[in-house]
């Protein structure tokens, strides 16, 4: 079945389509001893927070081995590499020198640098419950843009503020480990404000080509029953629209704005600052039903009983090692749905992350996953959605947050003892696909 699917020729994407891979600083860099600490260092030091008890102190050691990573990128033949700058490293003496060297190495290898300015590793002294963190972020962005702006191809303000809010501040399973439930909403607002201020800071520094990387996926009601549909709509509002509506149409979904702190109307004008493209991280759809009065375990997370929805299994679908369902056509659904909802307010779209966790170096399941999703993406392009690029998560197996090193998302295997990198079957498959696209 897999063989038949992957030997059909991949349809051709439009000329200029941007192919890339993604990583983030805390997940790959290591070298924690030469930067300031982040909330993730504090969190991982607390017993029981990370499932395998690991930390990202060394991770893939990309801080020291970035030349190896750049060679892997060049060998893969990607147009672009999405990585994040660690705010605590930028705050450390000489911290920006590392990114300067990395950007130079990428440019020399013909790979365009795409920089994420915040991917969850907040300096320990800061807190997204505080409004001031948004202004501090804009200062950080100005410093980075000033130094790297002459060579960076694209800028991403934030990565997945939805997950950082939900997992880090509402459910407490990511750093900083708060379990505030709906009191975490200000964290979402302050990040969105930070996004808008960052767009302004980037433009003031002369930088262009700016987007955000928001996570999205279709939400499917568990049944046609009104209570399931209502629960699914609420989930969709909280995890999808809460983060796209303010950025794209300058307003919060119904009932949310009044829960946010500060002068929300004025802030929304900042949040809706025009961007050049909209980044979507897509992994899987979610099936949602009415609450069942009990804590639910799902996809490595436990959802408290008091939530007004429950996440349900999507039956009859293969799942990744993480237990996430594999549903490529939901990517077409997501993109056509976005284009329909936001119409001319939606700028060109980039898929800033898509990938899966599987063990093994002969990773035929990953090939099948990527093949299916790239075809689904092409169907969206054929349907008229203006998608301009696709980034695989991730270049390397790396530190998968609360899962530690147990989940392997890489096109390249990392031996976390020796730090040796070994390209997987999917790396070769993607390399050949990219060659055929040119």
Residues 6+ apart with CB under 8 A from 108: none
Kindly name the residue from 29, 36, 273, 353 that is annotated as catalytic: 353
Number of H helices, E strands in the chain: 15, 15
Q: How far is the CB of 351 from ligand IFM (least distance, A)?
A: 12
| Three-state secondary structure call for residue 113 | strand
Farthest CA pair distance, the chain: 58
161 and 188 in contact (C-beta within 8 Å)?
A: yes
CA-to-CA separations, 129 to 125, 126, 162, in angstroms, rounded? 12, 9, 14
Q: Which of 160, 273, 365, 400 is catalytic?
A: 160
Measured from the CB atom, the residue of 230 and 403 that comes closer to ligand IFM is 403
- Helix ranges (H only) for 158-310 are 161-165, 185-204, 226-236, 242-249, 264-271
Contact (CB, 8 A) for 185 and 259: yes
Find the shortest distance in angstroms from Cβ 267 to ligand IFM: 25
Residue 282 vs 309, nearer CB to ligand IFM:
282
Catalytic-residue membership of 353: yes
Q: How far is the CB of 38 from ligand IFM (least distance, A)?
A: 14
The secondary element (H helix, E strand) that includes residue 287 is strand 286-289
Catalytic annotation present for 295: no
Of the pair 61, 400, the CB lying nearest ligand IFM is at 400
Output the smallest distance, CB 160 to ligand IFM, in A.
5
77 or 299: CB nearest ligand IFM: 299
Under a CB-based contact definition with an 8 Å cutoff, are residues 433 and 7 in contact? no
* Residue closer to ligand IFM (CB basis): 59 or 185: 59
Nearest to 134 by CA among 198, 214, 84, 88: 198
When computed from its CA atoms, the radius of gyration of the chain, rounded to whole angstroms, is 20
- Beta carbon of residue 164, minimum distance to ligand IFM (angstroms, whole number): 9
Residues lying near ligand IFM in the complex (CB under 6 A): 24, 27, 160, 281, 353, 393, 400, 409
**Residues annotated as part of the active site:** 160, 353
């Amino acid at each position: 079945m897999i063989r038949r699917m992957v030997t059909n020729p991949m349809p051709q994407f439009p000329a200029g389509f941007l192919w890339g891979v993604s990583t983030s600083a805390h997940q790959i860099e290591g070298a924690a001893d030469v930067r300031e600490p982040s909330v993730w260092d504090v969190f991982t030091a607390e017993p029981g927070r990370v499932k395998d008890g690991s930390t990202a102190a060394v991770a893939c050691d990309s801080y020291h081995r970035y030349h190896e990573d750049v060679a892997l990128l060049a060998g893969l033949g990607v147009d672009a590499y999405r990585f994040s700058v660690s705010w605590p490293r930028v705050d450390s003496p000489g911290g920006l020198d590392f990114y300067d060297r990395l950007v130079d190495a990428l440019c020399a290898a013909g790979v365009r640098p795409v920089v994420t300015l915040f991917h969850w590793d907040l300096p320990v002294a800061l807190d997204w419950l505080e409004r001031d963190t948004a202004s501090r972020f804009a200062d950080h962005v100005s410093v980075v843009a000033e130094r790297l702006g002459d060579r960076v191809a694209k800028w991403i303000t934030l990565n997945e503020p939805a997950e950082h809010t939900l997992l880090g501040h509402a459910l407490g399973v990511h750093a900083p480990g708060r379990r505030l439930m709906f009191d975490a909403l200000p964290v979402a607002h302050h990040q969105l404000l930070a996004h808008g201020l960052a767009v302004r800071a980037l433009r003031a520094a002369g930088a262009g080509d700016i987007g955000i990387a928001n996570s999205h996926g279709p939400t499917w009601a568990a049944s046609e029953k009104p209570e399931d549909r209502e629960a699914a709509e609420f989930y969709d509002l909280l995890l999808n629209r809460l983060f796209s509506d303010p950025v794209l149409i300058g307003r919060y979904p119904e009932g949310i704005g009044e829960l946010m702190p500060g002068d929300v109307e004025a802030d929304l004008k900042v949040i809706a600052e025009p961007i050049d493209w909209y980044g979507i991280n897509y992994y899987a759809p979610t099936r949602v039903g009415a609450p069942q009065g009990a804590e639910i375990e799902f996809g490595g997370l436990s959802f408290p009983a008091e939530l007004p929805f429950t996440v349900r299994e999507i039956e009859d679908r293969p799942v990744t090692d993480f237990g996430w369902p594999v549903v490529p056509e939901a990517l077409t659904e997501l993109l056509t749905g976005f284009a329909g909802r936001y119409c001319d307010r939606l700028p060109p779209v980039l898929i800033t992350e898509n990938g899966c966790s599987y063990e093994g170096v002969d990773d035929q399941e990953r090939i099948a996953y990527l093949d299916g999703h790239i075809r689904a993406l092409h169907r969206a392009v054929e349907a008229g959605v203006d998608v301009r690029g696709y980034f695989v998560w991730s270049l390397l197996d790396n530190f998968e947050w609360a899962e530690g090193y147990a989940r392997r998302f890489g096109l390249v295997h990392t031996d976390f003892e020796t730090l040796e990198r070994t390209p997987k079957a999917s790396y070769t498959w993607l390399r050949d696909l990219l060659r055929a696209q040119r």
